[in-house]
């Protein structure tokens, strides 16, 4: 069983594409909360409202960090996707954290991000352009077959 953490942008279906393409493989999938509202508001929803947006965001970030750190520490492989809608600073942080833990990393992003992500790409074991390439890479890692 391979534990794979899917980090990165939450505005497209890249996760579903990878998971569906890996059907039949023994993979346990982990990742962040992809409901943007729930992720942003979890801290104040659970621990109480904040007048200052900084503290509102901080409560959510600290609570989400429990899930993220635990998932990254338990992962065998990190797949991190950088999408086009927003700059995912959190995705870069997740990649750095995984690299510090010595976890294998597969980065997924379009070619136009090569320069901006050169350090992240240099720390990765593979750079993919499509979710299908990620799925093929995971299939190869698990089975040893192309």
- What is the C-alpha separation between 87 and 55, in angstroms, rounded? 22
- pLDDT, tens digit, for every residue of 33-49? 999 999 999 999 999 99
Rg (CA), the chain: 16
Token reading at 10: 């939450």
- pLDDT, tens digit, for every residue of 38-88? 999 999 999 999 999 999 999 999 999 999 999 999 999 999 999 887 778
Distance CA 17, CA 39 (A): 22
In 58-73, which positions are buried (b, 16+ CB within 10 angstroms) versus exposed (e)? ebbeebbeeebeebbe
Domain boundaries, the chain: 2-31+74-143
Q: What is the pTM of this model?
A: 0.94
Q: According to the model, what pLDDT value does residue 124 have? A: 98
Decide which of 3.40.50.450, 3.10.310.10, 1.10.357.10, 3.40.50.970 is the CATH code for 2-31+74-143: 3.40.50.450
**How far, rounded to the nearest angstrom, does the alpha carbon of residue 34 sit from its chain's CA centroid?**
10
């Amino acid at each position: 069983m391979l534990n794979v953490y899917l980090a990165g942008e939450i505005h497209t279906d890249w996760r579903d594409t990878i998971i569906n393409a890996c059907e039949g493989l023994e993979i346990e999938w982990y990742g962040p909360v992809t409901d943007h509202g729930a992720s942003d508001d979890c801290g104040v929803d659970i621990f109480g409202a904040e007048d200052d947006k900084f503290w509102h965001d901080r409560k959510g970030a600290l609570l989400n960090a429990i899930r993220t750190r635990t998932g990254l520490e338990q992962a065998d492989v990190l797949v991190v996707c950088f999408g086009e809608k927003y700059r995912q600073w959190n995705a870069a942080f997740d990649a750095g954290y995984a690299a510090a833990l010595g976890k294998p990393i597969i980065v997924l992003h379009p070619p136009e991000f090569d320069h901006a992500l050169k350090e992240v790409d240099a720390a990765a074991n593979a750079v993919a352009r499509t979710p299908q390439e990620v799925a093929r890479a995971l299939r190869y890692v698990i089975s040893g077959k192309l």
